[in-house]
């Protein structure tokens, strides 16, 4: 199984990067270099340390934002899922947040919180939190009533029902939301660096674009994808360790 999924991952990587290479070589646009050129630029950026310095900056709002969104998002999501009143009160905010055009909000954030780290963390949170909250609350609401009722019949305390029934039942969907949230958080981090102040990886992107060094620009974008994939894999491992068995399939009757 493991071998097969690895195999599929390699195939899809070859397909994506292969078509990137072909697309770049066929000269679609001057601004679209082939994969190999971007890789060369990538190694140059890694070798001279630019990439590491950039990530030291970018990771700050990203990590802080994702931790806040993860913890706060799951807590809010559980609360919304458990309480109809709270759902009525809070859910609309996240639904609006998820569909609002973020770029339009950035000037407001800058006015309120300046151009420092706080605004960037906010952008990451705005991107990451709604999907985490909405997934968590949906999962909590959809916990099968029969097992909640069973727990009650055996005198479960309210906290037991949450910890021993609702959370394990919801964990696959909560983690799916977390994965989507993390991906969105990555977008938020880069977006904030492009729109607020050019620092970190966002700076590499905007600077290399301004001097028409497109291979470096794509190298920076590639590095983000690489990191995101890495991060998501770590998350998946954590889920497997934390909720062993929750993915044991559902009994239909």
Q: Residue for token digits 């989507």?
A: 180
Cα separation, 35 vs 20, whole angstroms: 6
Contact residue for other proteins among 149, 229, 236, 242 (CB under 8 A): 149
CA 159 to chain centre: 29
Contact residue for other proteins among 78, 126, 169, 190 (CB under 8 A): 169
With contacts defined by CB under 8 A, name the span among 2-10, 77-85, 131-139, 238-246 that binds other proteins: 238-246
Q: Does 147 bind other proteins (CB under 8 A)?
A: yes
With contacts defined by CB under 8 A, name the span among 8-16, 40-48, 117-125, 158-166 that binds other proteins: 158-166
The Cβ-side half-sphere exposure at 201, using a 13 Å CA radius, reads 28
* Shortest reach from residue 247's CB to other proteins, in Å: 8
Q: Residue for token digits 């889920």?
A: 239
Strands (DSSP E) contained in 43-185 are none
What DSSP character marks residue 90?
H
Q: Does 84 bind other proteins (CB under 8 A)?
A: no
* Shortest reach from residue 142's CB to other proteins, in Å: 14
Cβ closest to other proteins, residue 30 vs residue 154: 154
**CB of 152 within 8 A of CB of 164?**
no
Q: What does each C-alpha distance from 36 to 28, 180, 181 come to in angstroms?
A: 16, 29, 31
* Shortest reach from residue 152's CB to other proteins, in Å: 6
Nearest to 142 by CA among 134, 150, 132: 134
Contact residue for other proteins among 165, 166, 189, 201 (CB under 8 A): 165
Question: Which positions lie near other proteins, rule CB under 8 A?
Answer: 146-147, 149-157, 160, 164-165, 168-169, 243, 245-251, 253
């Amino acid at each position: 199984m493991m071998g097969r999924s690895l195999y599929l991952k390699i195939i899809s990587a070859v397909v994506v990067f292969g078509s990137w290479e072909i697309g770049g070589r066929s000269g679609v646009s001057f601004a679209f270099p082939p994969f190999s050129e971007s890789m060369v630029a990538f190694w140059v950026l890694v070798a001279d340390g630019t990439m590491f310095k950039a990530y030291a900056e970018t990771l700050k709002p990203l990590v802080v934002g994702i931790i806040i969104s993860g913890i706060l998002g799951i807590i809010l999501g559980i609360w919304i899922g458990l309480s109809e009143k709270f759902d009525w009160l809070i859910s609309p905010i996240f639904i609006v947040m998820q569909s609002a055009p973020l770029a339009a909000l950035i000037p407001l954030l800058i006015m309120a919180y300046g151009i420092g780290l706080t605004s960037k963390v906010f952008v990451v949170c705005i991107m990451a939190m709604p999907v985490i909250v909405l997934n968590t609350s949906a999962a909590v609401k959809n916990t099968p009533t029969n097992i909640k009722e069973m727990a009650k019949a055996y005198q479960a305390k309210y906290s037991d029902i949450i910890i021993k029934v609702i959370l394990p039942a919801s964990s696959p969907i909560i983690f799916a939301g977390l994965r989507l949230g993390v991906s969105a958080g990555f977008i938020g981090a880069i977006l904030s660096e492009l729109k607020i102040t050019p620092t970190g990886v966002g700076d590499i992107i905007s600077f290399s674009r301004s001097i028409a060094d497109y291979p470096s620009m794509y190298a920076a974008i590639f590095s983000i994808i690489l990191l995101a994939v890495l991060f998501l894999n770590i998350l998946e491992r954590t889920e497997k360790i934390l909720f062993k068995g929750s993915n044991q399939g559902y009994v239909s009757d």
